[in-house]
Structure 1
Amino acid sequence: MRKGVFVLCCAAAAFFAGCGSGSSNVVDGIYELTGIENPYNTSGVMLQGFSWESHTSSSWWNVIKNNAEEIKSEFEYVWFPPCSDSNSEQGYLPRELYDFDAKYGTEKQLKSAITAISPAKAIADVVINHRCGTTSWGDFTEPSFGTEKGVNYKAICSDDEGFKNEPAYMGKVPASMRGAEDTGESYAAGRDLDHTNSDVQNGIIVFLGKLKDLGFCGWRYDFVKGYAGKYVGMYNKETGPVFSVGEYWPTAGYSYLNPNDWGNDIKNWVAETASDGGQYSCAFDFALKGAINTVFGNKSTNVANSHYNLLADESNLMISNPKAAVTFVDNHDTGSTQKHWYTDPADVGAAYVLILTHPGTPCVAWQHYFGEVSDSVCDEKVPGTTQTLHDHIKYLIDLRKTLGITNTSARETLSKTSSLYAAKITGSAGEAVVSLGNTTYSCPDGFSPAYSGTGWCIYVKDKAE
C-alpha cells in the first residue's frame, strides 16, 4: 500500500445508542485490579470538548453543537467543561452548583448541545473537591450543604485555610461547628469539602442527578487527590454513570528513573474507588503522559527522542490495566494556552499513533482536532506525512474502529529498547503492529505497512487469500 494511505475495508464500530440506566447493564466480567465487575468496556474514543480559552466564545455550547455531526461520527464520549456557576471563568471554582447558566453559555444551550451530539455521550466535568462561598469564603447556597454563614461550617474540612485566613466569619466558628479533617490534599483556592459529611454526600448525589437531567451520563472527576477515592466509588454507585474517570495528577515531578512513583499512586487511587462496595472509576494515565513527554520531549521542538522502553513500562495503566486507563497526549492544563507540560509539537502526531492504536480509552484534545479559539494547530502537517493533525487523528480513529481495537484488546510487546518500541495489538476484526523509534523496524511476516511518518509506522495483517 502507498505510504500514508489505508483503505478501510470494514464497517466502523457503532456507537452505543444511548446513556442507559446504569452500570449493571454493561458489566463484562471481572476487573483484574480490584476483583470487581468492570462496567466501562468501550471501543470508542473520548473528545475533550473544550480547551482553556473556550469560555471566551460567545457560547461554547453552540460551538459544540455546530460541530456535532463530525463529533458524533468519530467519538463515543465528549467531556464537557464544568457547567455550574463559578468564581472562575473556566468553571473550576464552583459556587452555586445548581445554577447552570455559566461562562460557556446558558442551560438551554447546554441541553441543545448534548442533544445534538447524540449518540455520543456527554461526560460532565465534576468539581466536588472544593467550593467557593456565595458572598464570603464559605457561605454555600444552591445547595447549602447545611452551612450557615457565621454559624455552621461542618461541610468544610477543619484544616481548611479559611478558618485561619477569613476571620470575619469562618475564623470565629468553634471547632465543634467545623467539619472533619481533609481526607486528601488541600486546595487553597476554594474551601475543601468534608466528604465524610452526609449533607455533602447527599448534596453531591443530588447535583449529579441534576446533571443527568441535563443529559449527562458520565463523570470526569476533577482533582481527585483532594479527597479519598472511596467517595468517588460511592458517588458512582449511587448514580450509575456509563463512564467515570478521575484526574489523579501526582504531586511530585515525574521521574523516568522511577516511573512507579506515579504509576502506583494512580493504581492505588483506582483500587480505592472500589473499596467499601463502591463502583470503581477509571483514571487519566498520567504515568503514560510522563513516559510520552520523556520519550518525545516537552516544551520544545525536534528534541532528541529516547527512552522508548518507557512506553512498555508496567507503571503505565495502558500496559498494566488498560480497562482503567484513559490515555491522552495533552489536555487543557498540560497544553492548550496554559502549556504547563505539553508534548513536543513535532511529536504530537506520533503520540497519537501510540494511544489511538492501543488498548485503553484514548482522549483527544479539542485543540488538536478542531483547533484553539486563536490557534489552528490542527491544520499543521504531521511530520513525514501529507496529513494535517486533524486528518491524522481522524484516520487513526477510523483505523481503530476498523480493526476493532477496544480498551481491553490484547497487546504484546515486540521491542522495548531505548531507541525502539514496537507492539502487536489484536482487535476483534484485525491486527496491527505499531513501531515508534529512532531505529528501523522490519515489517513482520504477514503484515504490510499501512501508514507511516517520521519515527513511526503502522503495519496491518495481510488478508488471507
Structure 2
Amino acid sequence: MKKITQISTKTILLLGGLVLGLTGCSDDDDTANNAAPIITSQSLKMDLTVRKKENAGVFMQAFYWDTEPAGEWYNEVSKRIEDYKASGINRIWLPAPGKGASGGLSMGYDPSDYFDVGEFDQHGTIKTRFGSRQELEDLIQKAHANDIEVIADIVMGHNSGGGKQANPFRGGTEVYSLFNESNGNASGKFNRSNEHFHPNDIHDHDEQALFFAETDLCHDQQYVQDWLWGRDDSVAEFYKKTLGFDGWRFDYVKSFAPKWVKSWNDKVGGFSVGENFDGNQQVLKDWVDASGSPAFDFACFYRLDETLDRANDLTALGEADNMLRKLDPANAVTFVANHDTEKDVNPENRISYNNKLLAYSYILTHDGYPTIFYLDYEAFKGQLKTLIQIYTTLAVGDVEILETNKDEYIMKRSGSGDNPGLILYMNISKQSKQRVVKTNWANKTLVDYTDNSRATPTTDAEGNATLQAPAGGYAIWSVTKE
C-alpha cells in the first residue's frame, strides 16, 4: 500500500508540473492552439438590464415592528435609497408619521396628533420613533431624486392619547376622547371631542369590526372628513403637498367603510393600497370594487403559507380564483411578510424563514404588484435582487399553469413582443426534480436565470424541453441570448 501511494504521489507531481507548464503558455500560444472559451450558464444569459418593462417596479415595506435605533429610522432608510433604486424598487412604504400616544416608542398605530411628525414636545418626546420632521422631509426628497415614490401609512380608524371626557352616549362614562393643545394634540389642528367618536348622535358605529371601540373615529361626521382629507389644510393635503408623500397605505380598513378611502383618493389622489386583513379573495375583491383602491392580497399570502408550511403540498396554488391576483391582478398587492405577520406567534399567520425565497419566487414571477419586506431584503439580498430583476424584465404575458401537484408547481408567462417571458419551476421535495415541459420556444437553448440550476436544456421543434428544479427550491427558465 505504501509503494502504491508513493507512485501515485509521483504521478500527481508529474501531472501537476504538466499543468503548470500548460498554464504558463503565452497568449500567442493560446491563440495558436485556438483554445475554446469555457461556456457557462452565466455567459448564455440575455442582458436583462436593457429589457426592463414599462412602468416596472417593486414595493418595499421600509420598516419592521419595533425598528431600531429609535429616533433614527428615517436616516437608516435614507442610507439605502440608492441601493433600492439599483434593485428596482419604485415605491417605499413608511410607517405612520404622526406622533403616537406611546411617544418615542410608538410605531404609529396609536395616533394622537396627525400633524406632529416630529417637531412638537409631547408624549415625552419631540422626535417620533422614526425621527424628526426634517429627517422625514430629507428622506422623501432623496427618494424622489432617485425616482422612488414614498407611501405614508394612514391610520384613520381610531385614535389614542387624548384626555378623559365624559361621553353622554356611553351613559356618562369617561373615555379618552378629548384632543386639544393640552391633550395629545399640540399642533392644535384637528382637535377632537366625544362627538367625533362612536357612539354619537349619528350612529353607534360605522362598521362592525371596531379595533378601539371607545375611540373609533366617526367618518360620517363632516368635521372628521374635512380634517382628514376635505380641507385644503387637511391631514392628506399636509402629507402630500407639504411633506411630499406620493400615496397611501390605509391601515385596518375593516374598521370603516370603503367609501371613505374612495373619498380620500378622489380628493387628493396618489397610489393607494388597503390593509383588509382577510384570507377570502372575494372579500378582498368586493372591497377593491367599493373603494376603488388596490388591496394587499392576503388570500395569496395565506395560500402560500398553507401550501409551503402547513400542508406541504403545492396543489392549491393551481386552484382557480383562490387569490385576489387571480380575480383582479391589476389591484392585487402581493406580499410574503409584513410587520404584523413577522411578530405573530401563530405560525399559521406567517411564512417560515426556510420557505421565504420559494414564496418570493412565486410573487416575483406572477402578476400583481409584489412587496418586499425590509427584514427579508436584508436577509436574502442577493437572491431577491435577482428575483426583482426577473420580475421587472421577463415576468410579462399571460399566466398559464403547466403542472401542479404535491411537490411541484410549474407556471409559464407567455411573454410579449420580443420579450420571451419565463417558466417558474418550484419544487418542495427533498430531491431534485425534472419534467418535460411544453414551452413557447422552439429549437432554443434555455438557462435558469436564478443560477439554481446549471443545466442548459434545448427545446425541440415543438418547444418541448426537460427542465429541472433543485430540492426544496426553484428555477426560472427563459431563452439564452441570440
The TM-score range, normalised by the shorter chain, is 0.7 to 0.9
SS in structure 2 of the partner of residue 219 of structure 1:
strand
Q: What is the rounded CA distance, in whole Å, between the counterparts of 2:43 and 2:363 in structure 1?
A: 19
Counterparts of 1:170-189 in structure 2, within 5 Å, are 176=201, 180-188=204-212
Q: Which amino acid aligns with 2:100?
A: S
Distance 1:365 1:3, change over 3 A: farther
Q: What is the rounded CA distance, in whole Å, between the counterparts of 1:134 and 1:113 in structure 2?
A: 30
Distance 1:2 1:184, change over 3 A: farther
Moved more, 3-12 or 183-192: 3-12
Q: Does 1:411 align with 2:402?
A: no
Counterparts of 1:122-201 in structure 2, within 5 Å, are 122-136=150-164, 137-141=176-180, 142=185, 145=190, 147-148=192-193, 153-158=194-199, 176=201, 180-188=204-212, 191-201=215-225
CA contact (8 A) 2:52 2:393 kept: no
Q: How far is 1:315 from its partner?
A: 2.0
Q: What is the rounded CA distance, in whole Å, between the counterparts of 1:105 and 1:432 in structure 2?
A: 43
SS in structure 2 of the partner of residue 100 of structure 1:
coil
Aligned to 2:235: 207
Alignment: residue pair count: 376
Moved more, 435-444 or 315-324: 435-444
SS in structure 2 of the partner of residue 424 of structure 1:
strand
Distance 1:354 1:3, change over 3 A: farther
Identity of aligned residues (%): 27
Q: Does 1:270 align with 2:288?
A: yes
Counterparts of 1:439-454 in structure 2, within 5 Å, are 440-445=434-439, 446=441, 448-450=446-448, 451=450, 452=452, 453=470, 454=472
Q: Does 1:85 align with 2:103?
A: no
Q: Deviations over 1:155-187 (max 9, x none)?
A: 1121xxxxxxxxxxxxxxxx54x7552224101
Q: 1:365 aligns with which of 364, 369, 373?
A: 373
Q: What is the rounded CA distance, in whole Å, between the counterparts of 1:311 and 1:47 in structure 2?
A: 27
Query: As a proportion of its length, which structure holds more helix?
Result: 2
The higher radius of gyration belongs to 2
Q: What is the rounded CA distance, in whole Å, between the counterparts of 1:305 and 1:12 in structure 2?
A: 38
Q: How far is 1:442 from its partner?
A: 3.0
Q: What is the rounded CA distance, in whole Å, between the counterparts of 1:320 and 1:462 in structure 2?
A: 33
Counterparts of 1:22-421 in structure 2, within 5 Å, are 42-74=55-87, 75-88=89-102, 89-101=106-118, 102-118=128-144, 119-136=147-164, 137-141=176-180, 142=185, 145=190, 147-148=192-193, 153-158=194-199, 176=201, 180-188=204-212, 191-205=215-229, 206-212=234-240, 213-241=242-270, 243-250=271-278, 262-273=280-291, 280-297=292-309, 305-310=312-317, 312-335=319-342, 341-370=349-378, 378=379, 389-403=380-394, 405=395, 409-421=397-409
Q: What is the rounded CA distance, in whole Å, between the counterparts of 1:281 and 1:203 in structure 2?
A: 21
Distance 1:190 1:220, change over 3 A: farther
TM-score by length of 2: 0.72
Which runs of no fewer than 5 residues in structure 1 stay unpaired?
A: 17-41, 159-174, 255-261, 274-279, 299-303, 371-377, 379-388
Moved more, 43-52 or 178-187: 178-187
Distance 1:103 1:12, change over 3 A: farther
Distance 1:324 1:5, change over 3 A: farther
Q: Which amino acid aligns with 2:423?
A: V
Q: How far is 1:317 from its partner?
A: 1.4
Q: Does 1:459 align with 2:480?
A: no
Q: Which amino acid aligns with 1:106?
A: S
Which runs of no fewer than 5 residues in structure 2 stay unpaired?
A: 1-38, 119-127, 165-175, 453-469
Moved more, 54-63 or 323-332: 54-63
Q: Deviations over 1:6-46 (max 9, x none)?
A: 84513357799xxxxxxxxxxxxxxxxxxxxxxxxx52100
CA contact (8 A) 2:400 2:411 kept: yes
Aligned to 2:18: none
CA contact (8 A) 2:285 2:327 kept: no
SS in structure 2 of the partner of residue 216 of structure 1:
coil
CA contact (8 A) 1:155 1:200 kept: yes
SS in structure 1 of the partner of residue 341 of structure 2:
coil
